[in-house]
């Protein structure tokens, strides 16, 4: 249904002034510029806004690591901060897009919810945490819905694994007992993933019992790793384990949609989507598209069509919704409606849906032979 796109890299910047009460107008403006920049595949705006020093401070301040290691880690992150946005833009590919969905303000913090549309690879959502200092806006962290945690927590985990010390790993990964053995095995599994020794990794994972699967961070890393391996069986296995041990964790709702889809538990998946929409405080094309996919699997095309038409009303520039609607109305032989959708595709997105183009899709065969389509083309020759 959708693969989870994981964003984990290293980075950092600097600022010491106290945060100010946010200017809603300035934050909105900067986030819209960021949206435009990312859609143009430019890293510049993100790098301009990212306050690396604050991110590092939050991530590392209370971690007991060697000073030389700490300084080296921070230096490496600062020097490679551009790789964060580069990775995200790479996942978007040629046809992906970024959409700013909502901006909220509280005390000295603003939050901007963004959807990352990865095309065939599904969706990602990130909630940027922003502060304002001396009339400028800075990104100081973000919550990644594909991980159920903030970026600073991901950095803490990278430090813990890179500087393997049982007490440190135990603390960062919330290991409550047998820290030395469990920490050693977690590091071994992560190293196998890093070296892409996937057969050994699967064997090692399968040798680990419930104490490991009860550690949410470890299971999230396993799901993320399995998703990047192009091994559907292992991906489904790790999702199943995540659901068994952490299915009631509301922070993991976005990730578990995949599990309930593969398990055929469509109603449960829809409930998770509805919960996320409520949490977002706004409907968006991504969540509604996932919900419409589930309704189609449940053989409820009429309800799916209602959702897709709602997507078009909410985000009229969301091209994918028009193609989905076209497929549904053609399947239901609503050819007059299909002609209207084709007209929208031509007018809004610049297509020429002539017979030769439409014939390339077998599902359109009966439609292009219909009187509705032929009369439309006859009366609208380009």
On the question of pLDDT at 19 being above 70, the answer is: no
Confidence (pTM): 0.87
d(CA 225, CA 7): 12
d(CA 240, CA 38): 34
d(CA 313, CA 149): 32
Across all residues in the chain, what is the average pLDDT?
90
d(CA 218, CA 194): 14
pLDDT tens-digit series, residues 261-314? 999 999 999 999 999 999 999 889 999 999 999 999 999 999 999 999 999 999
In this structure, what token pair is assigned to residue 9?
């890299």
- For strands 136-144 and 109-117, give the pairing: unpaired
d(CA 59, CA 207): 32
On the question of pLDDT at 11 being above 70, the answer is: no
Looking at 3.10.450.50, 3.40.50.850, 3.40.50.2000, 3.65.10.10, the CATH number of the domain 24-154 comes to 3.10.450.50
Arithmetic mean of pLDDT, 87-91: 91
Rg of the chain (C-alpha set)? 24
pLDDT tier at 174, thresholds 50, 70, 90: confident
CA max distance for the chain: 76
Range name among 30-34, 94-98, 101-105, 164-168 with the lowest pLDDT average: 164-168
The whole-number pLDDT of residue 1 equals: 57
DSSP string, 143-204: EETTTTEEHHHHHHHHHHHHS--HHHHHHHTT--S-HHHHHHHHHHHHHHHHTT-HHHHHHH
Judged by phi (left if over 0) then psi (alpha if -120 to 50, else beta), residue 289 lies in alpha
Burial of 82 by CB count in 10 Å (0-12 exposed, 13-18 middle, 19+ buried)?
middle
């Amino acid at each position: 249904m959708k693969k989870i796109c994981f964003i984990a890299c290293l980075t950092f910047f600097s600022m010491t002034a106290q945060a100010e009460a946010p200017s809603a107008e300035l934050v909105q403006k900067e986030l819209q510029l960021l949206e435009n920049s990312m859609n143009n595949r430019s890293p510049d705006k993100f790098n301009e806004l990212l306050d690396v020093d604050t991110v590092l401070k939050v991530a590392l301040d209370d971690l007991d690591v060697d000073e030389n290691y700490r300084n080296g880690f921070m230096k490496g992150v600062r020097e490679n901060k551009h790789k964060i946005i580069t990775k995200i833009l790479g996942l978007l590919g040629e046809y992906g897009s970024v959409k700013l969905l909502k901006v909220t303000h509280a005390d000295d913090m603003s939050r901007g919810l963004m959807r990352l549309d990865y095309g065939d690879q599904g969706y990602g959502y990130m909630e940027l945490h922003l502060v304002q200092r001396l009339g400028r806006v800075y990104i100081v962290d973000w919550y990644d819905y594909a991980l159920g945690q903030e970026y600073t927590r991901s950095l803490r985990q990278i430090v813990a694994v890179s500087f393997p010390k049982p007490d440190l790993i135990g603390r960062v990964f919330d290991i409550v007992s047998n820290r030395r053995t469990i920490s050693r095995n977690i590091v071994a599994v992560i190293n196998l993933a890093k070296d892409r020794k996937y057969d050994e990794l699967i064997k090692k994972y399968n040798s680990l019992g419930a104490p490991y699967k009860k550690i949410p961070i470890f299971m999230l890393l396993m799901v993320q790793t399995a998703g990047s391996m192009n091994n559907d069986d292992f991906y489904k296995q790790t999702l199943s384990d995540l659901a068994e041990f952490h299915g009631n964790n509301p922070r993991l709702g976005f990730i578990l949609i995949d599990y309930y889809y593969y398990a055929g538990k469509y109603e449960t998946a829809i409930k998770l989507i509805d919960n996320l929409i409520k949490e977002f405080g706004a409907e968006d094309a991504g969540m509604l598209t996932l919900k419409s996919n589930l309704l189609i699997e449940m053989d409820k095309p009429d309800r799916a069509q209602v959702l897709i038409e709602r997507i078009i009303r909410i985000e009229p520039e969301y091209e994918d919704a028009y193609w989905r609607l076209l497929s549904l109305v053609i399947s239901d032989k609503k050819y007059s409606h299909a002609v209207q959708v084709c007209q929208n595709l031509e007018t809004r997105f610049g297509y020429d849906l002539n017979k030769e183009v439409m014939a390339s899709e077998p599902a359109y065969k009966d439609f292009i032979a219909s009187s509705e389509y032929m009369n439309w083309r006859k009366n609208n020759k380009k």
